Structure 1
Amino acid sequence: MIPDERVQSVREFNRFYTRVLGVLAEGLNDTPYSLTESRVLFELSQRESTEVTALRRDLGLDAGYLSRLLARFESDGLVSRDKSATDARRQVAGLTEAGQSTMKMLNERSDAEVHRLLDPLGDDDQRELVAAMDVIRRRLTKNRQDNAVVLRPPRPGDLGWVVERNGALYAQEHQWGATYEAVVARIVADYAAGHDPAREAGWIAEINGERAGSVFCTRKDNDTAKLRLLLVEPSARGMGVGGRLVDECLRFATSVGYRTIELWTMNVLISARRIYQSRGFTLVESEHHDTFAPGQTAETWRKELYDR
């Protein structure tokens, strides 16, 4: 049973967001087209032509209502309709040149409206807002196959991103300041300047082409590897990204002959600690650590990769 306050919170958000977007106004973004009409035009712009039954199914619209919309668009010269080449009983629709121009205008006005919403916000606030929107979209998407996690080696620009995101994210979530960011910068600089590709590696996690996380496997000594700088973006949490990154690090460390792997973390990183425990890491040492923020504990975790 979903608590009433959660239901009311969702309804309040819906009312707020429709006011922000102006979708209750007569025309979306000062155009003659409603939100539904704009969505129909957008879907048609994404394909050269489409069967009307498929368009109705994809948009969840009533058949009669969609037929009236298409008839109006056809009358305005925005849409053309014809019989399907494979089944004369079916109808296909597509945008005309005028329809494409109208869709271009709608896209430009929509982009301008988003700029208006985001411009007053700083970079960190913009990232937080977009990340929250990504979470809402993913949680409410029935089919999450499009959100496949891809792991790849770091490319130019990725190492700078690792430093920036560690600094910004942990300052926001745990009030860690420049001291932590400096530690990350030194680790990344050492890796960039002289890591041994045969014994050390890094991975960037991507979702739909966007960076979503990172991790590194570095050498402590001939027998021991170190798992370092595990990071998962808030928008990607709950999708198994952290586990995938840790598993890849363990696979690599085992394949190149390390017998043990260890990591250093903080007690406040609860989700990361759960991943380490689930992969067989054991807490072997802890100590009071005020360097990043008061009242926190530093921890060393270790895992044997081979039975001795």
Structure 2
Amino acid sequence: MHSIQIRPFEALDAPWLVAVHDFLYSRDEGFDDSFVVLVKEILDDFITNHDAKRERGWIAECDGKPLGSIFCVALSETTAKLRLFLLLPEARGMGLGKRMLESCMGFARGAGYTEMRLWTHESHKAACALYGSTGWQLMDSKPVHSFGVDLVEQSWKIQL
């Protein structure tokens, strides 16, 4: 790959982000349409209501082609939430996910948050391994039926 950059999310990125979430999660996880509805709602809310000083999204791209995303949003005054962390399969295994995660966490620290949290699924093994290797702690793990499939939902946190 050529030069990879991580740039700020723009509203024009939303259709791509919704489509890639829909495609990858239906293909790889068997998720139904309720998942893409949730992704669209998260993005619509971010575009309409986010606080630019305390919340931000990023797009990783190479030569203008988007490769992934990550978002930092407020959960409370002191706690940020990591959302919509995604890398295309061809962009995995190069350290880009760690770079994106570190950028997001650095922003959260700079915005005054003292903790970050995230919600994911056990099936996202590479992401969970990344969280564990960068100091995140697994808080909770439980079986659920979401998005039309049986999953093990996980909650993680880190002190910033």
For the superposition of Structure 1 and Structure 2, which TM-score range results when normalised by the shorter chain? over 0.9
1:304 matched to 2:159: yes
State the match for 1:238 in structure 2.
Answer: 93
State the match for 1:97 in structure 2.
Answer: none
Between the aligned partners of 2:10 and 2:78, the Cα distance in structure 1 is 28
Equivalent positions of 1:135-284 (< 5 A) are 146-284=1-139
State the match for 1:88 in structure 2.
Answer: none
Query: Which amino acid is the alignment partner of residue 231 of structure 1?
Result: L
Secondary structure of the residue that 1:147 maps to in structure 2? coil
1:292, distance to aligned residue in structure 2 (A): 2.0
Preserved contact between residue 11 and residue 47 of structure 2 (Cα < 8 Å): no
- Structure whose CA Rg is larger: 1
Between the aligned partners of 1:244 and 1:176, the Cα distance in structure 2 is 27
| Structure 1 runs of 4+ with >3 Å offset | none
Report which structure shows greater RCO (CA 8 Å, sep ≥6): 2
Q: Which runs of 5+ in 1 are unaligned?
A: 1-145
Between the aligned partners of 2:157 and 2:11, the Cα distance in structure 1 is 31
Between the aligned partners of 1:256 and 1:295, the Cα distance in structure 2 is 36
Identity fraction in percent: 35
Preserved contact between residue 30 and residue 149 of structure 2 (Cα < 8 Å): no
1:208, distance to aligned residue in structure 2 (A): 2.4
Q: Tell me the C-alpha RMSD between the 2 structures.
A: 1.2
Query: Which amino acid is the alignment partner of residue 4 of structure 2?
Result: V
For 1:84-111, what per-residue CA distance to the aligned partner results, in whole angstroms no more than 9, with x for missing partners?
xxxxxxxxxxxxxxxxxxxxxxxxxxxx
For 1:148-205, what per-residue CA distance to the aligned partner results, in whole angstroms no more than 9, with x for missing partners?
3200012342012111111111111111111111111111111011100000000000
Preserved contact between residue 31 and residue 149 of structure 2 (Cα < 8 Å): no
Between the aligned partners of 1:286 and 1:296, the Cα distance in structure 2 is 10
Between the aligned partners of 2:142 and 2:41, the Cα distance in structure 1 is 22
Preserved contact between residue 60 and residue 67 of structure 2 (Cα < 8 Å): yes
The partner residue of 1:291 within 138, 146, 150 is 146
Preserved contact between residue 213 and residue 241 of structure 1 (Cα < 8 Å): no
TM-score of the pair, normalised by structure 2 = 0.95
Preserved contact between residue 147 and residue 207 of structure 1 (Cα < 8 Å): yes
Between the aligned partners of 2:46 and 2:10, the Cα distance in structure 1 is 13
Secondary structure of the residue that 1:160 maps to in structure 2? helix
1:296, distance to aligned residue in structure 2 (A): 1.2
Q: Which runs of 5+ in 2 are unaligned?
A: none
Between the aligned partners of 2:23 and 2:150, the Cα distance in structure 1 is 21
Preserved contact between residue 224 and residue 261 of structure 1 (Cα < 8 Å): yes
Equivalent positions of 1:34-45 (< 5 A) are none
Q: Which protein is richer in strand relative to its size?
A: 2
For 1:110-143, what per-residue CA distance to the aligned partner results, in whole angstroms no more than 9, with x for missing partners?
xxxxxxxxxxxxxxxxxxxxxxxxxxxxxxxxxx
Between the aligned partners of 1:293 and 1:281, the Cα distance in structure 2 is 28
Query: Which amino acid is the alignment partner of residue 12 of structure 2?
Result: G
Q: How many aligned positions are there?
A: 160
1:293, distance to aligned residue in structure 2 (A): 4.2
1:300, distance to aligned residue in structure 2 (A): 0.4
Query: Which amino acid is the alignment partner of residue 188 of structure 1?
Result: L
State the match for 1:106 in structure 2.
Answer: none
